Every structure is written in C-alpha cells, then in structure tokens.
Chains A and B, each alone.
Chain A
Amino acid sequence: MTMSRRQFIKIGAAGVGSAALASGLGTRWWGLDGDPTPDPRTDGDRVVASYCELCFWGCGVLAHVKEGRVTKITGNPAHPLSRGMLCPRGVGGTGLLYDPDRLKRPLLRRTKRGEDLFEEVSWDDALGRVAEGLERVRRQHGPEALALFTHGSGGVWFKQFMKAWGSPNIGAPSYAQCRGPREAAFQLTFGTPLGSPEPLDIGNARCITLIGSHLGENMHNTQVQELAEALGKGAQLVVVDPRFSVAASKARYWLPIKPGTDIALLQAWTHVLLAERLHDAEYLAAHAIGLDELRAHVAETTPEWAGPITGLDPRLIRDSARLIGASRPASMIHPGRHTVWYGDDTQRERSMAILVALLGNWGRRGGYLKQDKFPLAGYPYAGAPPPPSRPKVDRPKGGLYPLANEVLANGLCDATRPGQSLYDLKAWLVYGCNLVQAMPDRPQLLEAIQKLDLLVAVDVLPAEICGWADVVLPEATYLERDDDAWNGPWRRPFIAVRQAAVPAMYDSKPGWWIVKELAGKVGLADHFPWTDAREFVKTRLAVKGQSWETLSSTGVLLGPEIPTCEEEGAELTFETESGKIELFSKELADLDFDPLPVYRPQEEGPPGTFRLLSGRSPLHSFGRTVNNRLLAEPYPENEVWLNADAAATLPGFEARALAHGERVVLVNQDGVRSTPVKVKLTQRIRTDCVFMVHGWGQTARGQRYAYGRGASDALLTSRVKVDPIMGGTGMNVNFVRFERAVEHA
C-alpha cells in the first residue's frame, strides 16, 4: 500500500485511530504515531550455527545474518559448552569480523626483516614465494627444518601439511608457555594429562579450591557457568591468590599467599588432611600407592611451618584444609590452566594432584570426570605420508626435559639458533599465534627469527609476528570460513560444526584453501584429495552414516551418553606404570627428580622491586582480542595493579606520591622498560607483587587501536626459570620497579 502524506492526514482527520495506523508510515508528527516499542531489528534473516574462535574453548554460537552482514552472535542452546550463553568475547565476534585493520591481501616483505614494509601481491605470487622458499629449505636442510607454530582450530590444516611435508616439528605456546606442567603432573600421578576442555565437574562440587586460577576473570565459559551454578547451590570456595581476585571475593577462605610459596601451603594442607584423617583412606587403599611415603614426607610440614614461608596465618591454613577435607569427595582442587610460574611448576601441580587423590575426587561426581570423543571417522585417505626421517628438534642436546608430553615451542625457537639442537630449523610457519607476545625472552625470539631462511605468518589481523614475516597470508575469520568439525573430549561426547556465516571479506581465504593451494605448488596435492572443508567433514560423517544436515542446522551432533564417574558406574583405571594413582612417583625418582614435591624457596627480587604477575581479563583472550573495538569499549587498556600502601612508600616517588590512574613505566631487573601504562592503586593485592592483564603493549602499527595501548608483561619477562621436568618456561620470576612516565605534549 502506498499513501501520500496528504491522504494520510485526511484519514487521520476522519477519526480513525491514529496510533493504530501510524506506525511505519514515517510521520514525524508528535502524538500521531503513539509510542511504538523500539525494535533494533538485529535478528537475522538467516541464523548460522557454528563455533567460536575468540578463544580456544570453542563455544557453540548462532550468527545472525541480515542483508549479508552478521548483526549479532548469540549462544547456541544445543551446544554443551555454551548452553545458549556466551562470554563477552563470544558475543563480540563481530568486532573481529568487521575490524577495519584486518589483513586484506597477501603481503610480501620488501625490506629487512622486522622493518614492517610490505607489498600487496596476489595469492599466486605469495604462495609461489612460500613454495619456492620451502623447496629451497627442503633441498638444503631437509623437510624437518620446517617448524609449525599453531593456535586455533584452523591449525588442523597446517598440521596436515606438516605431515605430508615430512616434519615432526609442530609446536604451540599453549603447552610449555601455559598448561604444560599440569599435563605432565597429572600424567605422572593419574596416568592421563587433562587436556582441553578439562574434565572438571565444577557444577556438582561442594567445595572448589582455586590455586592461582582466577576463574571468572579467566572466562572459560562452561567452567564459569558451573562455578556460578555451584555457588548458587551453596558450594564453598577456597582461593589461593596474592590478589583479591573476583573469585577470591566470593570465597569462604581467601589465602593471600606470598608468590612462589604454593608448594609449602600444599604440603601443609596435605599434612592436615593426613594428620586429622580427613583423607579418603578406602579410596586410597583401593587405587593409590605411596601413601606411607607421603605421610612420612609431610610429617613435619605443619601449618605452623608453612605460616612464615607463605605469609599466611597457620589457623587460616588449618581451617581451609578442614573445609576442603570435610567436603570430600566432591571437593575439587582445580588444576588451573596457565601454570608456568616458577620453574618448579610440575612439582606444584603434583602437590595438587596428590590432594585430588587424597580427597578421592578423581573419578567422582563433583570432581575429575571421564570424558570421551565423539566417534567421528578420519578422512579416508588412500595412504599415510611416510613418517619424518629425523626426530623432533624441540629438546636441547643432553636429554633435558624428559617428561614433556608435547612439543616445546621455546625448544623450537632454541633449535632455530644454529648448533643448539640435533639440527637447525630454517623455516617457520606461524598460524594464528602471535609469538611476540606468547613467548618470553623477546631478544632471543627475535634472534632466532633473524636466523630463518623463511618465515610465513597466517593470520586474520596484522599481529606483531606478521611484521617479522617474509610472507603474510590473510586468513578469513571464523565467521567467514568452513573448518573441520570440533571434536574435543567431553562428558557427553559431541562434535560441533564450523561453517561460514558470510562470504570472506577482502582477499582473505580459509586455512583449508591456503593449505591445499600451497600443497599443489610443492608437489603434495595427492595428500589433499578433498575439495574443501565442507566435503572433508561430510565425508568423515558419511563413513558412519552420521547426519551432516543435523550437524549443519543445529550446530552439533551429540554422541551416546557415557558413564563419567564412579556414581554412574564408570570404572576407575589409571594408565600409570603401576596401574594405580602414584602419590610417590618412581618415575620421577628414577630420573633424579623429587618423587614427592619439596618446597624450595624462590629467589627474591632486589629491594624496591615487585614480582611481576600476569593474568586475564574476561573481555580478552591473550593479545588476540586487544584490537577488537567492541571488546575494548569496556576494557580499553591494561593497568598495573599496585598495593596502595606500597605506593605511598614507593622509592623514587618521595617528592610526589604516585596517584591512581597515573601513567608509569615499569623497568625490570634486566633494564627492560615497558611502554607507559596506567597504575591501579588498590588494596586488592599484596605489597610484594604487581599484576597486569596479559596481551597489551603491542608494537604492531597495523593494529591501529591496540598499538601503544597499555604495557606488555611478555616484554618484561626477559627471564624465565625452566621446569627441568617438562621444559615449561616459568615466567613469574621477573621483578619490576616504577618510574613516572614522562609526559609528552
């Protein structure tokens, strides 16, 4: 119906109810159109199910698409990890998709490495240059001289490329720079690393103990959902953290521990549990070995012993131990995730694993569950590529780090500096991980990079690592590409679909396409017989008659229910050498490591300095989201947390005390200086340490929003203490002093 204004007025004057008629007719006459409900109309014409890539958790999302644009992203109620709810990053995915700074076309470096001057080229030219460089490396140094650093779901294609190419050197900073010590410790104790997502039944726990983990600020969606659920049901929280974290604020007991003394606290807790017979004797008799050795080991480690070491009141240690013990078996010691702190991290995680065992929490409801993967068949390849002829090169000469159960990314960096390992790495493929922020000891990283014959970076944004690359390949975002199905372990096995909601913008391409094209240029096309990611997934599903249509429309396929704990009939089995939980580790003893964890004091910083600690904001995933304008609005930059009382007596600030919100420069023990960063003066942290959210202080000019905002904890981590058991790089061993930032006009 069309109607001129004149006609409209006539009708209105004729006495027909104006409010009923007026809506949508465009009148601006006050009072004539009533008060309509404002509707932003952001619901999609199409809603595409997929899973998120803003962090590694992989929550199920629904992308609303209207007129070719993703208007909003909501949680997929059918997806077991999101259950219809998303964290801010998941909702903020459009901030990545429509980031004006995205890589738009392939880039070739034109000047010296690190000078960040590039030329836009075609995909054919870019991949031709990569192929040429790779072929040269293969001719001169063998295929194993290529390493892949990877983070994120698209990495699966690049791993497949590495297999076809013939190199075993596939690493991720998410191991030795993050969860590695935990994996080694739980493997030693229970015979199984924890992996991701962790098998934790937080929702049914009666007591949850966090040791340095700041769940809630660390926004692993399902875990945070369950934490709130548990609190809602009356579960108690015990939080060990030098900082009054959000979780600490909800805790029955907050233990503001002196950084680096956790093992002493854990030994004291172990002492109390055993001395007061709060442990699960029956469970241990059936499933564990080494209880007598453990009992003897902690005979003297009383709360009174640990008090002066940890800076905690012995009564607080004892009371919290009693709560933890009284709540068993549903008393969870959360294993944490970012666990590379002091170089003795495997031993700290072992202490935690031992507590898990004492509480009978492994394999029980409210504890560590049995998980499984969905029965998805592999792609029916005609044959497997031959295995690489040389071993992985991530371990230095001399057989160090014997219990690393994944590749060490820092080891790959080391092996790039000539003569450090069995053979030298000459080329890097870096997929979706900004090594410049992910790796400690930046000078050594950059030195390794300068030794390379070829560095190829695949990314969505011009991250810092791209500035060091010879070739930069722009990948399409997760909202613009198909990928392999997500198939992680879970208590209810399932797979989730990754499918493009909108076509790829600019000249960006999905990872599968990049790999397939590259393979064609280096004579490996036979190893990539599938046409695209969708056909790849469909073919895998077809092997067992699973439905692509259901997966594609609902976002997930659920597998059969499995018993996840003893209460559901799951049997407790342990893949340790003894077949039991190993409280006392013969494996460690045989390697000349402490078979039971021993507290050893950490080195202190020089006077006037503070131990540098880092962590997460719920709005950001490492440095990956700091250029996302949507997420930056509530959290525009990081701050350095400093105890307000410590600030009042800060050396160098006698004339004028440091004020809240002022900008400071942090200088570490090696003279490394941060970019200016705001100081947050607060009572919420001890006086001997400072805290920063990781990922800021980025130096890539192409990320115009993030450039120069906040400061980088990674840059200040010029020193690490390497875990001798598994090679993790302990990072909380750096100390900073404060300088007032010089104001520039």
Chain B
Amino acid sequence: MSRRYAMAVDTRRCVGCNACVISCKTENDLPSGAFRDWIVTEARGQFPDLTLQIRSERCNHCAETPCVAACPTGASHVAAGGTVLVNRRKCTGCKACMVACPYGARSVHPDGHVDKCTFCLHRVERGQSPACVETCPTRSLTFGDLADPGSGVARLVAHRPHQVLQPEAGTRPFVFFLT
C-alpha cells in the first residue's frame, strides 16, 4: 500500500509557544512576514466557565484538493505520500489556489510564486521529521504514514478523539487535531 503522510496535532499538550512557527521559518528560509504554520488560540465561554483550544495549524494536505484543481499551470500538485506542493517554476502567482483553499494555508512569496507547507518533504525523504515536529517542546506534533497502522500518527488517529478543520468543505484533511 502506498504511503499517506499525515499529522496529528495534540491540542491537549500544545501550549501555543510558536516554536513550530519559528523553526519552520528558519528551516525553510521564509521571508519576513511569511508563515507556513501558525497558532490559533480559541477561547469560548464566560468567566469563569471557559475553555481554550490551541492549535498549531498549517496546510492540511487534503485528499480532495481544490487548490490543485484551481491551478491553471499544474504548479500545485500532489506529491509523494499525498503531500500537496507547489512547483515554483510552474507557478505564475495567479492566486487561484489561494482563493480555492478554505484554510488560508497559502501565501505569495516575494519571488512571485505561491508558498505553503511542504510537510518538510526534503527532510522526510532523508528520514527526518518536519522541522516543526522535531523542535516541538511539548511533543504535540506527530508526523508519519497514516497508511501504516503501526505508525505513531495512525495509532493516535485510531485511538484519540479528533477533529479536522472545516470538514464541511469536503476536502478530507490529513492534519488531525486530537482533542
């Protein structure tokens, strides 16, 4: 069976420190003001009956990819393990994919092409974890092959309650938020 990369984000462990955000920026040499992942902090309720969910968000590397469908040049594509990538040489920066993506996971790089999370595929191909996963001090992030039932991510998704973002968008995300 072929690989299917996925990520589990444990909202019970995450403290929203942003180490994932900064490590992504330095690993991927992102320009000032650009992010491929970010922290969302959602408070609900009235004092003192409150809840807080903290999520480290990024591209969901969906199974149904409106971004790829919208791309007129074939720059947005599905690569190894279902990872959604942008070939910057083919990208004209038309932003059709940015409009199509329900998650705001894409931005325009100053060089003119669209930029997004790659699951650090360059690291994964060398047997390493994505930079955000590697540095996370709370080990909230688990990356791996969901098609391998023995993988950490597969076990977490199998055994822990979880959500995906905007399931109604029909994109079938592969980033799972453990609750």
Q: Which A residues fall within an 8 A CB radius of B?
A: 28, 30-31, 33, 35-40, 42, 71-75, 84-88, 90-92, 94, 216-217, 219, 221, 224-225, 227-229, 231-232, 244, 246-247, 249-250, 254, 256, 618-619, 629-631, 633-635, 643, 645, 682-687
Chain B 50-85 interface mask (CB, 8 Å, partner A; 1/0):
111010000000000000000001100101100001
Determine whether the beta carbon of A643 is less than 8 Å from that of B47: yes
Return 13 A-B CB contacts under 8 Å, by A number: A28-B89, A84-B134, A85-B139, A90-B19, A217-B15, A231-B13, A244-B50, A249-B50, A254-B48, A631-B22, A682-B43, A683-B46, A684-B43
From known contacts A42-B27, A86-B135, infer whether A216 and B87 are also in contact, taking CB-CB under 8 Å.
Answer: no
Q: Across the interface, do B118 and A86 meet the contact criterion of CB distance under 8 Å?
A: no
Q: Is the CB of A74 within 8 A of B135?
A: yes
Residue from B18, B19, B46, B122 in contact with A39 in the complex, judged by beta carbons closer than 8 Å: B122
> What residues on B are CB-neighbors of A88 within 8 Å?
17-19, 21-23
CB distance from A210 to the nearest CB of B (A): 12
A228 partner, pick from B15, B52, B77, B80, beta carbons under 8 A: B15
Contacting pair A30 B17 (CB below 8 A): no
A-B contact count (CB 8 A): 165
- B residues touching A (Cβ–Cβ < 8 Å)? 10, 12-13, 15-19, 21-23, 25-29, 32-33, 35, 38-39, 43, 45-48, 50-52, 54, 73-74, 77, 79-80, 85-90, 118, 121-122, 125, 131, 134-140
The residue in chain A whose Cβ has the minimal distance to the Cβ of B24 is: A91
Contact, CB under 8 Å: A91 / B26: yes
Task: Choose one: B32, B85, B137; the contact of A629 (CB below 8 Å).
Answer: B32
Partner of B18, one of A221, A231, A635, A685: A635
Q: Is the CB of A74 within 8 A of B16?
A: no
Min CB distance A248 to B, Å, is 8
Contact B32 A633, beta carbon cutoff 8 Å? yes
Instruction: Give A30 to B88 CA distance when docked, in angstroms.
Output: 10
On whether A86 and B15 interact (CB within 8 A), knowing A225-B138, A683-B50, the answer reads no
Give min CB distance, A146 to chain B, whole Å. Answer: 39
Given A28-B89, A71-B29, A85-B135; 20 other pairs, CB 8 A cutoff: A30-B74, A33-B89, A35-B77, A35-B85, A38-B88, A38-B118, A40-B27, A42-B29, A73-B26, A75-B135, A88-B18, A88-B21, A216-B16, A231-B13, A244-B43, A244-B52, A618-B19, A634-B21, A684-B43, A687-B47
B122 touches A38 (CB 8 A): yes
Residue of A nearest to B78 (CB): A35
Are A37 and B17 closer than 8 Å at their CB atoms? no
Contact call B73/A30, Cβ cutoff below 8 A: yes
B135 touches A216 (CB 8 A): no
Chain A residues closer than 8 Å to B16, beta-carbon distance:
216, 246, 618
Query: A618 contacts which chain B residues (CB < 8 A)?
Result: 15-19
Nearest CB in chain A to that of B90: its residue: A30
**Closest residue of chain B to A82, judged by CB?**
B137
Which residue on A lies nearest to B126, using beta carbons?
A: A43
Q: How far is the CB of B138 from chain A (nearest CB, A)?
A: 3
Asked whether B43 lies within 8 Å of A683 as measured between CB atoms, the reply is: yes
Check A225/B137 contact, CB under 8 A, given A88-B17, A619-B18: yes
Q: Which residues of A contact B86 (CB under 8 A)?
A: 38
Contact A224 B18 (CB under 8 A): no
User: B26 to A633, Cβ gap below 8 A?
Assistant: no
Min C-beta distance of B154 to chain A, whole Å: 18
The answer for the CA separation of A91 and B25 in the assembled complex, in Å, is 9
CB distance from A624 to the nearest CB of B (A): 16
Smallest CB gap from A214: residue in B: B15
Given contacts A87-B137, A683-B50, contact A224 B17 (CB under 8 A): yes
Contact A634 B18 (CB under 8 A): yes
Which residue, of B15, B51, B138, has the highest number of chain A Cβ atoms within 10 A? B15
A30 touches B50 (CB 8 A): no
Question: Which one of A86, A227, A249 has the greatest number of beta carbons of chain B within 10 Å?
Answer: A249
Q: How far is the CA of A91 from the CA of B28 in the complex (A)?
A: 13
- Given the known interface contacts A37-B121, A37-B125, A231-B13, the answer about A683 and B47 at a Cβ–Cβ threshold of 8 Å is yes
Q: Which 3 A-B pairs have the closest CB atoms?
A: A228-B138, A216-B15, A249-B52
Please tell me which one of the listed residues B45, B74, B125, B137 contacts residue A31 in the complex, with CB atoms under 8 A apart: B74
Q: Would A219 and B17 count as touching, CB distance under 8 A? A: yes
Which A residues are CB-close (under 8 A) to B45? 683
Q: Are A686 and B52 in contact (CB under 8 A)?
A: no
- Residues of B near A219 (CB, < 8 A) are 15, 17, 137
Once the chains are docked, how many angstroms separate the CA of A88 from the CA of B56? 13
Contact B47 A72 (CB under 8 A): no
Q: Report the separation of the CA atoms of residues A630 and B135 in the bound assembly, to the nearest whole angstrom.
A: 16
A630 near B89 (CB under 8 angstroms)?
A: no
Q: How far is the CB of A200 from chain B (nearest CB, A)?
A: 16
Q: How far is the CA of A665 from the CA of B73 in the complex (A)?
A: 52
- The docked-state distance in angstroms from the alpha carbon of A5 to that of B78 is 29
Residues A71 and B13 in contact, CB atoms below 8 Å apart = no
Q: Which of B18, B50, B80, B88 contacts A684 (CB 8 A)?
A: B50
Provide the bound-state CA to CA distance between A685 and B46, in Å: 10
Instruction: Decide: A249 near B48, CB < 8 A? Known: A40-B27, A684-B43.
Output: no
Kindly list chain A residues whose C-beta atoms are within 8 Å of the C-beta of B79. 35, 37
Expressed in whole angstroms, the Cα–Cα distance for A151 and B65 within the complex equals 52
**Nearest CB of A to B108, in Å:** 15
Q: Are A232 and B18 in contact (CB under 8 A)?
A: no
Query: Which chain A residues border B140 with CB–CB below 8 Å?
Result: 228
Residue of B nearest to A34 (CB): B87
Which of B33, B79, B87, B121 has its CB near the most chain A CB atoms (within 10 A)? B87
Complex CA–CA separation, A523 to B40 (angstroms): 58
Cβ-closest chain A residue relative to B80: A37
Residues of B within 8 A of A244 (CB): 43, 47-48, 50, 52
> CA separation between A225 and B17, bound complex, in Å?
11
CB-defined contacts of B46 to chain A, threshold 8 Å: 683
B residues near A645, Cβ cutoff 8 Å = 47
B118 CB, nearest partner CB in chain A, Å:
6
Contact call A91/B43, Cβ cutoff below 8 A: no
Q: Which listed residue, A232, A246, A630, A643, touches B52 by the CB 8 Å rule?
A: A246
Chain B positions within 8 Å of A619 at CB level: 17-18, 22
Measured in the bound complex, the distance between the Cα atoms of B20 and A85 in whole Å is 10
Contact of B87 among A36, A91, A643 (CB under 8 A): A36
Question: Contact check: which of A36, A85, A249 meets B137 at CB < 8 Å?
Answer: A85
Q: How far is the CB of B85 from chain A (nearest CB, A)?
A: 7
B21 partner residues in chain A, CB cutoff 8 A: 88, 633-634
Cα A343 to Cα B17 with chains together (Å): 31
Distance from B46 Cβ to chain A, minimum over Cβ atoms (Å): 6
Chain B residues with Cβ below 8 Å from A85 are 19, 134-137, 139
Chain A residues closer than 8 Å to B50, beta-carbon distance: 244, 249, 683-684
Chain A residues with CB under 8 Å of B13's CB are 228, 231-232
B139 touches A38 (CB 8 A): no
Q: Knowing A216-B15, A231-B13 touch, does A42 contact B47 (C-beta < 8 A)?
A: no
Complex contacts, B80 vs chain A, CB 8 Å:
37
B122 near A40: Cβ-Cβ < 8 Å: yes
- Most central of A94, A216, A229 by chain B CB within 10 Å: A216
The smallest beta-carbon distance between B12 and chain A, in angstroms, is 6
Given A35-B77, A42-B28, A685–B47 Cβ distance below 8 Å?
Answer: yes
Residues of B contacting A33 with CB < 8 Å? 89
- Residues on A with C-beta less than 8 A from B138 are 224-225, 227-228
B15, B43, B73, B137: which has the most chain A beta carbons within 10 Å?
A: B137
Residues of A within 8 A of B88 (CB): 38
Chain B residues near A232 (CB, 8 Å)?
Answer: 10, 12-13, 139
Task: Write the nearest CB–CB distance from B104 to chain A, whole angstroms.
Answer: 15
Contacts of A90 in B (CB 8 A): 19
Among A86, A217, A250, contact of B19 (Cβ-Cβ < 8 Å): A86
Task: State whether A221 touches B137 (Cβ < 8 A).
Answer: yes
For B20, give the chain A residue with the smallest CB separation.
Answer: A88
- Do B134 and A74 have beta carbons less than 8 Å apart? yes
